[in-house]
Amino acid sequence: MVEQGSEQESPGEDPPKAFGWAGARRRMAERGLDSSTGQGTSAAPAPRKLRPTRRNTSPRTWGTEGSSARDEAPEVAPAPTQPAGPDAEAAAAPEPERKPVEMRPKARPENRRDARRSQGSDQMEAAKLRLHELLIEELEQGALDGMPPEEQRTAVSRAARELIAQEGIQLGGSSRDELIESVADEVLGLGPLEPLLRDDTISEIMVNDIDKIFYEQDGKIFRSTARFRDTAHVMRIIERIVAPLGRRVDESSPMVDARLPDGSRVNITIPPISPFAASITIRKFRADKMTMSDLVGYGSMSEDTAEFLAMCVRAKLNIIISGGTGTGKTTLLNALSSFISNTDRIVTIEDPSELRLQQEHVITLEARPPSMDGKNAIYQRDLVRNTLRMRPDRIIVGECRGPEAFDMLQAMNTGHDGSISTIHANNPREALARLENLVLMAGMELPAKAIRQQIASAIDIFIQISRMQDGTRKVTYVTEIAGMEGDTITVQDIFKFELEEVEESGRVVGKMKPTGIRPAFADKFALAGIKLRNDIFDGDREW
């Protein structure tokens, strides 16, 4: 800046430190120069125009090189030649006496690295926003339509490189590649959520605010360093999620359930029901479906338990999988479905669709929410009733949480054996009580004993799955519905998880043990041509 201005440095001043345009503007102000033009009142050649920056322009008072020297140096008389005008009067005015400032220790090297990293992040965000705007302007409407995803990403990356060269953005190799990748995520994907979606080890993504993004990995929740720019950025990503599905989210409809193209389930809420910020919850869909062998390998159940459950599916027993939110009910249901015969006609009913069955003869039905005028809704109960006219061999209800429980029990009691569903409950006994309440939601004024008789005759077995404190999922109960005693449904555990200890690291240690009780439905295995090992229910066997 010295070469461009008409001023010379005052004697005694420290040589200026080049640490950004913010510091340059401050030093120009101290010399009486106009920060917008870089000139005083006297004629001088016009300086080169400064590029705008988004950095914080507030002066630093400590922790930088030379700050101590400036604060402690004696006052230096102003240069004899000063520009005329108001600026000169201001410069000639005596500087007020400074109060002694308590000097803080210099920032540690890691703190300075954090500051530089923050400044680099701000520059990267500014460049990303600028490139995104330019790409929207440059790409023709519909230019990417019809292209495979790989070709779309290649086209956007090529256009971004050309724009970086045209704009003269100075970035290193890795930073440039990172910028191009981020811009491609903004144009084609879900912005800052895309790296989390690509990570196969992450099972759930939770957005609480623009700078509060969490994810679940290996059963534990961590906070991500990713963030959105502002609220408008979040709303744009939300619109990108719901628009392809024909859904809407606004003040009149502030919450929505949707799914991503890969099958991942999404729940979205916006103000006013989430008054502080919009929230996004994504439960990712695993492309590689877990098998029973995988669940045994992860310690979710014993080999005997897996063998017994496989025989239950082949023998067409009616099964209810119960558990809390995020315990892995749908994962277990997908694994059990692999034992269904390929010749069976299967009808699945879900809201939204999550199951991925490998059989050939599968029909998937999905509930539909009301339209914008509140009409044309199709509920799971309607689909269950319609399924009875579709000649199903097996009916699978992804999650039973409403009046459809009554129609599902009716189907199980009218010859549709081998049906499977899931329900939210903490143990098999609570699952029975919840199922009874769901039947009452259908509006049928039936006595409690009649409802319990329906449940006892329709369901053969409950499988309880729980999430432990170390994040692992384990099958904790395999329980048989034994029948009725008076007005009470009797149950008996076939397998039960016994906790041994919780290690200091938080790891849960336990064993899945048979209780020694032979189920009453064991004769159905023989009718299905399945040979049952006598020692599988031996109470002395341990896992």
**pLDDT tens, position by position, 111-130:** 455 444 555 566 667 777 77
Is 55:26 a contact under the CB 8 Å cutoff? Answer: no
From 18, 21, 29, select the one nearest 7 (Cα to Cα): 29
Provide the residue type at 444 as one letter. M
Confidence of residue 541 (pLDDT cuts 50, 70, 90): low
3-state secondary structure of 233: helix
Mean pLDDT of 120-142: 67
Neighbouring CB atoms inside 10 A of 186's CB total 23
Give the span between the Cα atoms of 316 and 445, in whole angstroms: 31
**pLDDT tens, position by position, 103-114:** 444 445 444 554
**pLDDT tens, position by position, 359-418:** 889 999 999 888 777 788 899 999 999 999 999 999 999 899 889 999 999 999 888 899
Confidence of residue 351 (pLDDT cuts 50, 70, 90): confident
For the chain, give percent helix, strand, coil, nearest 5: 35, 20, 45
Is 440:430 a contact under the CB 8 Å cutoff? Answer: no
- pLDDT score recorded for residue 22: 47
- pLDDT score recorded for residue 166: 78
Mean pLDDT of 512-533: 89
pTM assigned to the model = 0.69
Sequence-ordered alpha helix ranges (H) in 32-189: 67-72, 86-92, 109-138, 149-167, 173-188
Mean pLDDT of 159-163: 81
Confidence of residue 140 (pLDDT cuts 50, 70, 90): low
Backbone angles phi, psi at 180, to 5 degrees: -65, -40
Q: pLDDT higher for 228 or 140? A: 228
Per-chain mean pLDDT for the chain: 79
Q: Torsion angle, CA of 13/18/20/21, rounded to 10 degrees?
A: 60
Structure tokens at 357: 């069955």
Confidence of residue 329 (pLDDT cuts 50, 70, 90): very high
- pLDDT score recorded for residue 179: 80
Give the span between the Cα atoms of 279 and 192, in whole angstroms: 14
Give the span between the Cα atoms of 351 and 267, in whole angstroms: 12
Least confident of 132-141, 466-475, 479-488: 132-141
- pLDDT score recorded for residue 123: 67
Give the span between the Cα atoms of 530 and 520, in whole angstroms: 15
Domains along the sequence of the chain with CATH: 1-73+82-89 (no CATH), 119-283 (3.30.450.90), 292-537 (3.40.50.300)
**pLDDT tens, position by position, 64-93:** 444 444 444 444 444 445 444 444 444 445
From 215, 189, 192, 191, select the one nearest 204 (Cα to Cα): 215
- pLDDT score recorded for residue 425: 94
Give the span between the Cα atoms of 459 and 394, in whole angstroms: 14
Please say if the pLDDT value at position 444 is more than 90: no
Give the span between the Cα atoms of 151 and 184, in whole angstroms: 12
Please say if the pLDDT value at position 218 is more than 60: yes
Task: Say whether the peptide bond before residue 78 is cis (omega within 30 degrees of 0).
Answer: no
